[in-house]
Structure 1
Amino acid sequence: MGDGERIGIDAALVNAEFERTVARTPGISMLLLATADGRAVADWSTLKADPRRLAAMTNSLLTLSETVVRELGLASADNATIATRQGNMVLIRLEHARPLTLAAMGSPDTNTGTLLFAARDCAVRLAQLLHP
């Protein structure tokens, strides 16, 4: 049983949504959906990275971001962004029966705003698709 099945998520449905997202925003080089405990549910990537390791790290980073904004007395973090010369990554929390993390990586030519918009749009569609 895969991690998605363990929590009642059809990874094939998620992967189909990932394909639609990449078709709309070709500059995306990776999409990853992970559980709150850092397990990969589904992934799409042109990169040579291990989605299991990335699932744990991206969830931890988003959780840390959420903790920082709570400490500052701010509203919850909508997303976290990592900017590099080789591309940018956006992390978004999805509410489900259990919280999920969506990670989206853009190529160096992909504008951060475009990546954020595409990731948010994907997150909304995934939340509707996965709504119990």
Structure 2
Amino acid sequence: MGTPSSNVDSAALETELDQVINRSVGISMLLVSTADGRAIAHRSLNKLDPRRLSAMSNSFLTLGETLSRELGLSTADYVTMSTSQGSMVLVRVAADRPYTLAALGHADTSLAILLYAARDAAARIKQLL
């Protein structure tokens, strides 16, 4: 993974991701990346490439934010993607610099539960970034 900002407590961030995965039964992946798409921390129950996912996740969230502005709406708080095999929520974490949190839910996890867990995790990890 990429090198996190010097002010990021990597151990505390990894611990927080572990806690979110352990208490949120429906989440199978969490990924924190910089606004330029570099992975700094992740947890996954599946074998995934965090570097590739970081770049794509950040681009998808940025596209959602850009679309929101073009529509004359306020800044997008999050974007979602839903499939028959699961859903993903991408949340901007506005710390000292912007980060992206990606949360992947199982097929049987409701989007509302996933969104709540992702927004809660973003608020918790914001303090660590």
TM over 0.5: yes
User: What residue in structure 1 maps to residue 125 of structure 2?
Assistant: 126
Percent of pairs with identical residues: 54
Aligned-partner Cα distance in 2 for 1:46–1:94: 23
- 1:73 equivalent to 2:54? Answer no
The one-character-per-residue Cα deviations of 1:16-38 (angstroms, maximum 9, x if unpaired) are 11111112211110000000110
CA distance in structure 2 between the partners assigned to 1:76 and 1:7 by the alignment: 28
Deviations 1:48-76 (A, max 9, x none): 21000000000000000000000000000
SS, match of residue 105 in structure 1: strand
Whether 1:61 and 2:60 are equivalent positions in the alignment is yes
User: Normalising by structure 1, what TM-score?
Assistant: 0.92
Deviations 1:63-117 (A, max 9, x none): 0000000000000001000001110000000012210000000011111100000
- The RMSD of aligned alpha carbons is 1.4
Query: Match for 1:31: what amino acid?
Result: L
Report the secondary structure of 2:127's partner residue: helix
Q: Which structure 2 residues correspond to residues 1-132 of structure 1 after superposition, within 5 A? A: 2-4=2-4, 6-130=5-129
Query: Which amino acid in 2 is paired with 1:22?
Result: I
Tell me which protein shows more helix as a share of its residues. 1
Structure-1 separation of matches of 2:6 and 2:90: 20
Distance 2:70 2:64 in 1: 10
Distance in structure 1 (CA, Å) of the matches to 2:52 and 2:9:
21
What secondary structure sits across from 2:104 in the alignment? strand
2: CA distance, partners of 1:92 / 1:7? 22
Letter in 2 for 1:32: L
Aligned residue type for 1:3: T
Q: Distance in 1 between matches of 2:49 and 2:20?
A: 21
User: Which runs of 5 or more residues in structure 1 are unaligned?
Assistant: none
Alpha-carbon distance in 1 for matches of 2:11, 2:3 = 12
Gaps of 5+ in 2: none
Q: Structure 1: which 4+ aligned runs deviate by more than 2 Å?
A: none
